[in-house]
C-alpha cells in the first residue's frame, strides 16, 4: 500500500487578472500559504505557464519547477483539458469551442485540431522535461450529440466514432508512452469518454494502449447516477490521477439529470465545495489506498455557492484529514506465532 500524496490544488479555476492569481510565482506563494504541497498546472494560460516554450526548453521547465520548489511545492501534472477538448469537436459545437483556441485557427476546424495536436505533443515533451509521470486532459467528442438514443443511432455509428477518436489520439498516445507519461482522461459529460463503458470503448479502439488512463473525479459520476465506489473496484489499475471535488444531486419533481437548461445554481445535480456535498470521501480514500494508488489528491474547486478562496482554504485541510497514512504492520501482530512449517502441518492434521 501507498500513502496518497497531497494536498494539491488545480490552479485553472483560480487564475485571473488580480494578484495573487495573475502570475505563477504569486499563485504558488498563495497555494503554499494555504498548506498545499502540490499544484496541477493548466497549460493554456500564459500568465502561469508557456507550453510552447516548455516543450522546447529544459531551462524554462527548470525555472518553473524552481519557482514552485521555492514555495515548498511540486508540480503534480500538467493539464491540457482545453486542448484535449479540441482534438475532436462535432461541428455543432464549433463556435462554442472556438474560444479555447488562438484566434489564428478559429473558424477553421482542421487547423484548430492540428493546433490541439501540437499542443498535446508539446505537453508530452514538457512533462518528460519536468520528470512528471502523469498528465491530465479531456478526450474531445464526436458522438456526444447522440448520447441519448433518439433519433435511433445508425448501426455502426458508435464504433466508427471511437475508431476516428482513436485515430486522432494514437500519435499523441505514442508520444506520451515514449516519454514515460500516462494520459489521464477526466471522464466528463460532454466528452466521448464520460463513464466506464466509454472508457472501455476507447481502450479497445486504441488496442489497450498503455498510456490511456483515468483521472478519477467522483463528482461527474454523482451527476450521472453512477456508482463512484464500484468504479474504483473495476478500474483502479487505470486510475492514475484524482480530482477531489464534491457534488450533490437533489431529486425533485421538475427536473432531472438533464438539468432543464438551468444554471448550475438551479440544477438538481451541482458541484459543491469539499464537505458541502454528498460524496463519501472517506470510502474513496480508503479504496484508493487499498488498491495502492500512488498519485496525488488534487482539489478541483467548482461550487455555485461558496467563494473560491474559501473553498481552497477549506479544501487543503479536508484533503489532509482524509489522507490515510498506511500501516507497516498488522494490527494483530502482537498475537503472531511466527513461521513454523511443522506447526502448520500439525494444525492441518497432516
**Model confidence pLDDT, tens digit, residues 161-190:** 999 999 999 999 999 999 999 999 999 999
Given a cut of 90, is residue 118 above it in pLDDT? Answer: yes
pLDDT digits (tens, 9 = 90+) for 199-256: 999 999 999 999 999 999 999 999 999 999 999 999 999 999 999 999 999 999 999 9
What rounded mean pLDDT belongs to the chain?
96
Predicted local confidence at residue 63, as pLDDT: 98
Q: Quick one: pLDDT band at residue 339, thresholds 50, 70, 90?
A: confident
Predicted local confidence at residue 327, as pLDDT: 85
Q: Which pTM value belongs to this model?
A: 0.96
| Nearby residues of 115 by Cβ (< 8 Å), 6 or more positions away | 83, 86, 101, 102, 105
Predicted local confidence at residue 235, as pLDDT: 98
Predicted local confidence at residue 172, as pLDDT: 98
Predicted local confidence at residue 303, as pLDDT: 97
Predicted local confidence at residue 279, as pLDDT: 98
Q: Quick one: pLDDT band at residue 296, thresholds 50, 70, 90?
A: very high
Given a cut of 90, is residue 333 above it in pLDDT? Answer: no
pLDDT digits (tens, 9 = 90+) for 257-277: 999 999 999 999 999 999 999
| Fold type of domain 5-347 | TIM Barrel (3.20.20)
Predicted local confidence at residue 249, as pLDDT: 98
Given a cut of 90, is residue 290 above it in pLDDT? Answer: yes
Write out the E strands in 175-281.
Answer: 182-186, 212-216, 239-244, 246-249, 269-272
Given a cut of 80, is residue 338 above it in pLDDT? Answer: no
Torsion of CA 143, 146, 147, 148, to 10 degrees: 180
Given a cut of 90, is residue 76 above it in pLDDT? Answer: yes
Given a cut of 80, is residue 300 above it in pLDDT? Answer: yes
Predicted local confidence at residue 336, as pLDDT: 76
pLDDT digits (tens, 9 = 90+) for 26-35: 999 999 999 9
Distances (CA, A) of 73 to 27, 33, 39, 145, 177: 11, 11, 7, 41, 26
Q: Is the dihedral of CA 143, 144, 145, 151 positive or negative?
A: positive
Angle subtended by helix axes 228-235 and 196-205, to nearest 10: 30
Given a cut of 80, is residue 152 above it in pLDDT? Answer: yes
Given a cut of 90, is residue 312 above it in pLDDT? Answer: yes
Predicted local confidence at residue 1, as pLDDT: 80
Predicted local confidence at residue 248, as pLDDT: 98
State the maximum Cα–Cα separation within the chain, in Å, rounded to a whole number.
80
pLDDT digits (tens, 9 = 90+) for 7-32: 999 999 999 999 999 999 999 999 99
Amino acid at each position: 500500500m501507498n500513502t496518497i500524496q497531497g494536498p494539491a490544488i488545480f490552479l485553472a479555476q483560480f487564475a485571473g487578472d488580480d494578484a495573487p492569481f495573475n502570475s505563477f510565482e504569486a499563485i504558488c506563494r498563495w497555494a503554499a500559504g494555504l498548506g498545499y504541497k502540490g499544484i496541477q498546472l493548466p497549460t493554456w494560460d500564459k500568465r502561469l505557464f508557456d507550453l510552447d516554450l516548455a516543450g522546447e526548453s529544459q531551462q524554462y521547465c527548470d525555472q518553473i519547477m524552481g519557482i514552485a520548489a521555492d514555495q515548498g511545492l511540486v508540480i503534480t501534472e500538467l493539464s491540457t483539458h482545453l486542448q484535449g477538448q479540441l482534438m475532436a469537436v462535432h461541428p455543432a459545437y464549433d463556435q462554442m469551442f472556438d474560444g479555447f483556441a488562438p484566434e489564428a485557427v478559429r473558424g477553421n476546424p482542421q487547423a484548430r485540431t492540428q493546433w490541439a495536436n501540437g499542443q498535446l505533443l508539446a505537453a508530452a515533451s514538457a512533462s518528460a522535461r519536468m520528470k512528471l509521470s502523469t498528465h491530465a486532459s479531456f478526450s474531445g467528442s464526436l458522438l456526444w450529440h447522440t448520447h441519448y438514443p433518439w433519433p435511433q443511432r445508425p448501426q455502426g455509428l458508435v464504433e466508427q466514432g471511437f475508431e476516428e477518436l482513436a485515430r486522432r489520439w494514437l500519435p499523441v498516445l505514442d508520444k506520451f508512452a515514449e516519454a514515460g507519461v500516462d494520459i489521464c482522461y477526466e471522464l466528463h459529460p460532454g466528452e466521448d469518454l464520460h463513464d466506464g463503458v466509454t472508457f472501455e470503448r476507447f481502450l479497445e479502439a486504441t488496442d489497450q494502449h498503455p498510456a490511456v488512463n483515468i483521472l478519477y473525479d467522483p463528482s461527474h459520476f454523482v451527476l450521472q447516477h453512477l456508482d463512484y465506489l464500484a468504479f474504483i473496484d473495476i478500474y483502479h489499475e487505470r486510475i492514475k490521477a484524482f480530482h477531489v471535488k464534491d457534488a450533490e444531486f437533489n431529486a425533485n419533481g421538475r427536473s432531472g439529470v438533464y438539468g432543464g437548461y438551468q444554471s448550475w445554481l438551479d440544477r438538481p445535480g451541482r458541484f459543491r465545495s469539499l464537505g458541502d456535498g454528498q460524496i463519501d470521501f472517506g470510502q474513496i480514500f480508503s479504496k484508493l489506498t487499498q488498491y495502492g494508488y500512488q498519485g496525488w489528491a488534487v482539489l478541483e474547486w467548482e461550487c455555485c455557492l461558496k467563494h473560491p478562496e474559501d473553498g481552497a482554504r477549506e479544501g487543503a485541510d479536508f484533503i489532509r484529514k482524509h489522507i490515510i497514512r498506511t500501516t507497516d504492520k498488522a494490527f494483530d501482530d502482537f498475537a503472531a506465532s511466527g513461521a513454523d512449517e511443522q506447526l502448520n502441518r500439525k494444525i492441518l492434521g497432516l
